[in-house]
Structure 1
Amino acid sequence: MNDVQIACESDTDLEIDAALLFYRARANGAVYATQHAVRVVDDRPALLPGVPLTLEALAEFADLAARRTSYRGFVHERVVYLAPNVLVWWVPACTRRVWFQHTGELGNASGDCQHPPLVFVATRGKWSVFSLRENARPDARTALYRAPYFNVWEDGRICIGNVVTPDTIDSDSIKPYEDAFFRSRFTHANADKLIKGRGGAVRLWKQLLAGAPFPLHQLIDAKCTLADVVKTISTED
Structure 2
Amino acid sequence: MNIINDLFKDVYRPVKVIAVYQSQLDQSFYTESLDMDDTGQMINPHPLSLTEANLLADTLNTSDELRQDFLISKGLLPENILFINSTKDGNVIWYTPEMQVDLLFKPELTIADGRANIPALVWKASKNSLSVYALSCNERPGLETKLFYAPFFNIYTDGRVCMGNVKINIDPKCSLEDFVEKWQGYFFASTFSHLLGSGSPVKGNIIELWQKLVGSKRKFPLKQLKSTSKTLKSIIR
Tell whether the 8 Å contact from 1:36 to 1:47 is kept in structure 2 after alignment: no
Distance across 1 between alignment mates of 2:178 and 2:21: 34
- Per-residue CA deviation, residues 39-88 of structure 1 (Å, 9 max, x unaligned), is 48877x97985636769947983897499214254222321111122111
RMSD: 3.7
Shift of 1:187: 1.0
Range 190-199 or range 179-188, more displaced: 190-199
Residue of structure 2 in register with 1:3 after alignment: none
Structure having the higher Rg: 2
Quick one: higher RCO (CA 8 Å, sep 6+), 1 or 2? 2
| Equivalent of residue 34 in structure 1, options 31, 36, 39 | 31
Structure 1's 210 and 73: CA in aligned 2 closer, same or farther, altered over 3 A? closer
| 3-state SS, counterpart of residue 147 of structure 2 | strand
- 1:218 and 2:224 are equivalent in the alignment: yes
Range 148-157 or range 16-25, more displaced: 16-25
- Per-residue CA deviation, residues 162-204 of structure 1 (Å, 9 max, x unaligned), is 21334145232211211111121111111233434332x2122
Shift of 1:145: 0.9
Distance across 2 between alignment mates of 1:206 and 1:120: 25
Query: How many residues are treated as equivalent by the alignment?
Result: 216
Structure 1's 137 and 55: CA in aligned 2 closer, same or farther, altered over 3 A? farther
Letter in 2 for 1:222: T
| Equivalent of residue 198 in structure 1, options 204, 209, 218 | 204
| 3-state SS, counterpart of residue 189 of structure 1 | coil
Normalization by structure 1: what TM-score?
0.73
Residue of structure 2 in register with 1:234 after alignment: none
- Per-residue CA deviation, residues 147-171 of structure 1 (Å, 9 max, x unaligned), is 1111111111011222133414523
Distance across 1 between alignment mates of 2:47 and 2:197: 54
Residue of structure 2 in register with 1:69 after alignment: 68
- Per-residue CA deviation, residues 94-125 of structure 1 (Å, 9 max, x unaligned), is 0011010143433xx20110011011111143
Q: Return 5+ residue gaps in structure 2 as ranges.
A: 1-5
Shift of 1:220: 1.2
Tell whether the 8 Å contact from 2:204 to 2:224 is kept in structure 1 after alignment: no
